[in-house]
Amino acid sequence: MKRVFLFLATNLAVLVLVGIVLNVLQAFGVNLGNNGTLIVFAAVFGMGGSFVSLALSKWIAKRSTGAVVIEQPRNEAEAWLLNTVRRQAEAAGIGMPEVAIYDAPELNAFATGMTRNSSLVAVSTGLLRGMQRDEVEAVLGHEVSHVANGDMVTMALLQGVMNTFVIFFARVVGRIVDAWISGDREGGVSFAYYIIVFVLDIMFGILASMIVNAFSRWREFRADAGGAKLAGRGKMVAALQRLGQTYGVSTLPNEARAFGISGSVGSGLKRLFMTHPPLQERIARLRQQ
């Protein structure tokens, strides 16, 4: 539950910060009463923030996980990692990603980066210790498939669109509610308007997170299929089964967690906020293909 809370808190914090900035601009005389002007500001802040985050994703991932990029292999294992990713990247038709290792006990890996030809694939030390090479190969194929599918860009685009609509509709609905409470005030808004917008930012932000997470779960099925194509379905199934032993445990920071391979555990309402489908569903989907 802590993981879900942190994920939501991160997205809502961005929306609240944007809301504060827009409210300050409005207080200093910037007219956001016109819907055309408002949608422009919403798009600039909503899309801009999302793509700035994407542009910094590799740097943030390296700093937050302590990932060390393999510049020159120091041993046979690192040479194997580089060669495997290179072979898979060529098969997937993308540029060679940076390959890194980060120190973490769980079985996990992630991919990030702004473009298909400027990406990062990182694996945990726990994954290298706890998996057979066939299984690691499948995990790498899964991550390379994320890059080849353009999932990082698509996620940023979707998040930006959701942020834009949250910012816009929270203020449109806020004006309607404020006018209704105040008896259809002419010109200007009351202090209650800012409170209403703050609450609506949070409510609409939660709904937006559900949509983004639904897409995230779908792209995991697609990346599993890509990993099976690059490494073999049997290896991909075996890798997911091995991941099941950790029950979705992840020490990845929020910035990279949605792009990790580690599975999720949840049901009911909690499932709506999961970035990954349950491992058993992923395995079953692969076996049906």
Continuous H helices in 232-270: 233-243, 254-257
DSSP strand pairing (68-69 vs 118-124): unpaired
- Exactly one of 106, 135, 137, 143 is catalytic; name it: 143
Does the annotation count 135 as an active-site position? Answer: no
C-alpha distance across the termini of the chain, in Å: 32
Cα angle, residue 136 at apex, residues 96 and 124 outer, rounded to 5°: 80
What is the Cα–Cα distance from 52 to 162, expressed in whole angstroms? 15
Is 74 exposed, middle or buried (CB count within 10 Å of its CB: 0-12, 13-18, 19+)? exposed
Cα dist from 34 to 15, 24, 97, 155, whole Å: 20, 17, 45, 29
Distance CA(186)–CA(168), nearest Å, equals 21
DSSP code string of 143-187: HHHHHHTTHHHHHHHHHHHHHHHHHHHHHHHHHHHHHHHHTS-SS
Q: Where does residue 254 rank: exposed (0-12), middle (13-18), buried (19+ CB within 10 A)?
A: middle
Strand, helix or coil at 232? coil
Residue 68 dihedral angles phi and psi, to the nearest 5°: -110, 115
Residues annotated catalytic, as ranges: 143
